Amino acid sequence: MSKISFYQGVEKCFDKAASLMNHPKGLLEQIKSCNSILQMRFPVRIRGEYQTIEAYRVQHSHHRMPTKGGIRYSMAVEQDEIMALASLMTYKCAIVNVPFGGAKGGIKINPKDYTEEEMERITRRYTTELIKKNFIGPALDVPAPDYGTSSREMAWILDTYMTFHPDKIDGYGCVTGKPISQGGIQGRKEATGRGVLFGLNEVCNYAEDMKAIGLTPGLDGKRVVVQGLGNVGYHAAKFMQEAGCIIVALAEYEGAIYNDKGLDVDAVVAHRTATKSILGYPEATDFVNSHDALEYDCDILIPAALEHVITQENAAHIKAKIIGEAANGPIAYEAEDILLDKGVMIIPDMYLNAGGVTVSYFEWLKNLSHVRFGRMEKRFHENTFSDMIKSIENITGKSFDANEKSMLMHGPDEIDLVNSGLEDSMISAYQEIRDTWKSTNIKDLRTAAFYNSINKIADAYYAMGIFP
């Protein structure tokens, strides 16, 4: 187990980057500190008896408004964890140039212990507490799904908020990750996993960086292990497979499966749906201890579950050349130097899993503008492309077939624009991080990412005139 807590580890990473900078001490302390911490206890009637529920909402930074961050339902929820996650959200938003401050929320429950009706009751009561304390609103604080929550809970949050604020014209922007029918956006569910793909693809495109760790450029043929098959892990594994990677192992809480020739991600998920376990999948070797998967021989390891799965105890046994942190804080602070000394390239969580908040930003913008992306320009582009094709055919005397015309004339739908915006955000952010990494004495990408985010947040404070 880590001797340094999750939040302390985030602070130490911050201090490591801050020590290389010349910002005033008071400004650095302000950037690092959690601004507002709401700890709640509220009663909810469960099966004829009242149960006291423990919950949190932390707003880390108000340098940009609203604050933004998911809500997780887990028995592991505690104040230290929520503070750490809120802090990472601030730095994450700065890295991908999303104008939010960081926040995070959590309810200390195991969702499997409650019926859907009871889950709704808990969610609505939690939302009511946030409303009473002014901790939610499209201009104040905008939650989203996280571990243990989904679009279902976000719909309940939205409905509760609008019940209290029926006159809020921008009220639907109070929460993101909603169902499409409730103001959600295409591509949000898979956004974090798709962002992992875009990020790792950009990382692997730099030939000199890959040569330094003994790999060839590109994703094609890379052997990948994914730990965690929740929303993020599943989509990351699926998209990596579609990009040409070989998924040699998948791990969940019940165990891990391995096949050196590769696993079909969708087939594994279908098997798990049918049998309630990934174990027993045909043509794969079972391992009861899922943590063993972290030590399998592979090119890229993607921990996509919870924090601190790589520790001092197992870091020396990691064989991956690249660790892509799809989860928040999967590497304990004490394990980081062990991995770096081994030459492992760590792609930090605050960059790699930023796809979710990036597309949440797009959803928030959609809610504020009250118009679906693509509605204003789709037909215009299709008509323009059609005229262009006709001109080319007239000039050349050659005709395009129906499939070619359909592809060339396609105007962007909402999902096309969302994925394009996400890809651009992930590519641009990594280029900024890598430039800092290569142009300074910084030795690792996590410190470079913190360095960039601190500078961007500091610039916001300077612009406000709060610090000289």
Please check whether residue 249 is in contact with residue 257, taking contact to mean a CB–CB distance below 8 angstroms. yes
Task: List beta partners, residue 285.
Answer: 258
SS3 state at 251:
strand
Backbone phi and psi for residue 393, each to the nearest 5 degrees, phi listed first: -65, -40
CB neighbours (10 Å) of residue 263? 24
> Which entry of 104, 189, 238, 321 is annotated as an active-site residue?
104
Rounded CA separation 357/214 (Å): 33
Are 150 and 143 in contact, with CB atoms under 8 Å apart?
no
Distances (CA, A) of 324 to 81, 144, 219, 299, 308: 21, 22, 13, 11, 14
Taking the C-alpha atoms of residue 314 and residue 316, their distance in angstroms, rounded to an integer, is: 6
Tell me how far the alpha carbon of residue 101 is from its chain's centroid: 15
At 97, is the secondary structure helix, strand, or coil?
coil
Contact criterion met (CB below 8 Å) for 346 and 446: yes
Phi-psi region of 374 (alpha: psi -120 to 50; beta: other; left: phi over 0): left
State CA 289 to chain mean position distance: 26
- Alpha-helix residue ranges (DSSP H) falling in 133-264: 151-164, 191-204, 207-212, 231-242
- Torsion sign across C-alpha atoms 333, 337, 342, 348: positive
Catalytic site includes residue 104: yes
How far is it, in rounded angstroms, from Cα 231 to Cα 195?
Answer: 13
Q: What are phi and psi of 346, to 5 degrees?
A: -100, 120
- Point out the residues that are catalytic: 104
